[in-house]
């Protein structure tokens, strides 16, 4: 019976390693193709006048506003509102990650820099920067369907499982439907296969 457990485990590991190898090989081939400059720019000429995308209904305030230089400490500029200043300032740098947006500005009148840091939730909101303000709106629900494969071994009871199927992910819930192969020798269960269905709640 031991050789069955070993065969079962090796089969599951082989599936996972094969998928991992193919994924790594694809990522490596894509990385090798990349040059110093990524992408290609096409110029599109439009006869219609430019129109701003209308601001969204909810205004997002920055978590922090950083004022650089002694000019901000001057008594003649201490009452300046950073929100009104950035409406006419030049953006000199944008740093964007999955959860954070940092925008730096330079004011030519004051010869000073200003930086605003925002918290983002790209999974649930779209953002629009216009007239010196960041606004947001809630995105429409779009379920995501992904394939999955796994192998699992529980040593205390010598339980072995492998599975594959499809996963449907929503904002807080993840549904999985697929096939499960199992081998439970401590329960005198031979190799078998069954349908499986699970629901996972995401606490984040």
Domain boundaries, the chain: 2-21+142-201, 63-138
- Tell me which of 96 and 4 has the higher pLDDT: 96
Burial 159-195 (b: 16+ CB within 10 A, else e): bbbbbbbebeeeeeebebebebbbbbbeeeeeeeeee
pLDDT digits (tens, 9 = 90+) for 19-47: 777 777 777 766 666 556 667 888 888 88
Using the 8-state DSSP alphabet, how is residue 61 labeled?
Answer: -
User: Residues 182-196: what's their mean pLDDT?
Assistant: 84
pTM of the model: 0.58
> CA-to-CA distance for 25 and 6, rounded, in angstroms?
27
Give the mean pLDDT of the chain: 80
pLDDT digits (tens, 9 = 90+) for 85-116: 666 678 889 999 989 999 998 887 778 888 99
Neighbours of 128 (CB within 10 A): 15
> CA-to-CA distance for 152 and 166, rounded, in angstroms?
17
SS in 3 state form for 80-111?
CCHHHHCCCCEEEEEEECCCEEEEEEEECCCC
> CA-to-CA distance for 82 and 141, rounded, in angstroms?
35
| Least confident segment among 77-81, 104-108, 158-162 | 77-81
pLDDT of residue 188: 77
């Amino acid at each position: 019976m031991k050789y069955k457990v070993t065969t079962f485990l090796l089969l599951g590991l082989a599936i996972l390693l094969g998928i991992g190898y193919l994924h790594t090989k694809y990522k490596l081939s894509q990385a090798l193709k990349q040059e110093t400059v990524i992408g290609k720019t096409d110029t599109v000429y439009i006869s219609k006048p430019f129109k701003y995308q209308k601001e969204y209904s909810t205004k997002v305030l920055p978590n922090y506003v950083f004022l650089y230089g002694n000019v901000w400490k001057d008594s003649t500029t201490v009452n300046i509102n950073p929100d009104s200043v950035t409406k006419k300032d030049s953006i000199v740098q944008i740093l964007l990650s999955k959860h954070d947006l940092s925008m730096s500005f330079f004011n030519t009148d004051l010869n000073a820099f200003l930086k605003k840091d925002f918290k983002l939730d790209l999974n649930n909101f779209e953002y629009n920067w216009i007239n010196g303000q960041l606004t947001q709106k809630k995105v429409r629900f779009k379920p995501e369907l992904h394939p999955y494969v796994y192998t699992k071994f529980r040593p205390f009871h010598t339980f072995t499982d492998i599975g594959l199927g499809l996963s449907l992910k929503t904002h807080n819930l993840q549904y999985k439907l697929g096939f499960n192969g199992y081998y439970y020798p401590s329960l005198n269960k031979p190799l078998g296969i069954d349908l499986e269905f699970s629901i996972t709640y995401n606490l984040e």
